Amino acid sequence: MLRNAANDYLALRRAAGFKCVDIAELLASFIRFADGRQERHVRAATAVAWARLGTSVYRRRRRLRTIGIFVEHLRAEDGLHEVIPSDVFPGASPRRRPPRIFSREEIRRVLSLADTLGPPGSMRALTYRTLIGLLFATGIRIGEAVRLTFDDVQPDGLVIRRAKFGKSRQLTLHPSTHAALEYYLQVRRRVASGSDRVFVSIRSSPLERRWVLLTFQALCAKAGIDGAGGGHKPRLHDLRHSFAVHALVRCGAERDAVDRHMLALSTYLGHGCPSATYWYLEQTPELLRDIAAACERLPSGVTR
């Protein structure tokens, strides 16, 4: 009963554009736990006992919250499922890890080091230089980049297919970015491969994001570039954050300009809603200082 209900719930969430990878794993784990107790409905005590198996306070809260939302869905048709308490695991909510914003000079250093990648005679150096440069210049997700095919590179830009929430979008490219990508494709098309992916490994198979991450972090280490916060390494997603922050800095501090630019940036990045893009304001000290200065210049009592 619970298994069928979970499958229906996940199908509904996925139809709305959510991937539900972690949620599916958590629900499957909870259902196995409940099956061991021969329970056909969700019991609050069982949910709490299962959640306590989490390895940290955050994971325990995450596990219990996942079941709580699932129960809210189930109770619309069956009130025998018990409401899950929300105050079992008190503590501060985890803070979103701040991104590492790369400067243009830092990216130049990383790209220069990418040119030294071996083995000699392979196109690995050019592949990583182009891929890392593309991530920084466009802000596309690494998953979107490694899924690019030849047909996705068009004269007027890139087509991003099967993006987050199942959406597709068209991206214009700066002429220098387009030229670099076209040069790479001239070399790439001479490489025999059974794949039409733009970025491939030295074995001519589609490039895997985990190898891209390891290579990127190794290049950053050689360049003396750390991640945000103590002990953290840079992430590929930091390149997306960097693109967004640099784009916001260029738009100026006027509120109308920020609003117009934010909507365009949200569309370009493929965010589900502009509010997800406004978070980047918190990570843009230059823009925040400019906005604060602009606010101070407003007459007292004036709002916009």
- Averaged pLDDT in 10-residue chunks for the chain of 304 residues: 90 75 91 94 96 89 92 89 87 66 94 96 96 95 93 91 72 93 94 87 90 96 85 88 79 56 62 58 55 52 44
| pLDDT (0 to 100) of residue 229 | 64
| pLDDT (0 to 100) of residue 246 | 80
| pLDDT (0 to 100) of residue 80 | 93
Catalytic residue among 13, 73, 109, 164: 164
237 is catalytic: yes
Tokens of 179: 């030229």
268 is catalytic: no
Residue reference for tokens 């590492």? 100
Domain 107-222: homologous superfamily in CATH: Intergrase catalytic core (1.10.443.10)
Catalytic residue among 240, 241, 246, 268: 240
Q: Where would I find the H helices in the chain?
A: 2-15, 21-36, 44-51, 57-74, 104-114, 124-138, 142-146, 175-188, 209-222, 237-250, 255-269, 274-278, 285-297
| pLDDT (0 to 100) of residue 278 | 56
Angle in degrees, 0-180, between the axes of helices 209-222 and 104-114, rounded to the nearest 10: 110
| pLDDT (0 to 100) of residue 298 | 47
271 is catalytic: yes
| pLDDT (0 to 100) of residue 101 | 86
What are the domain boundaries of the chain? 2-74, 107-222, 237-297
Cβ distance 96 to 238 under 8 Å? no
240 is catalytic: yes
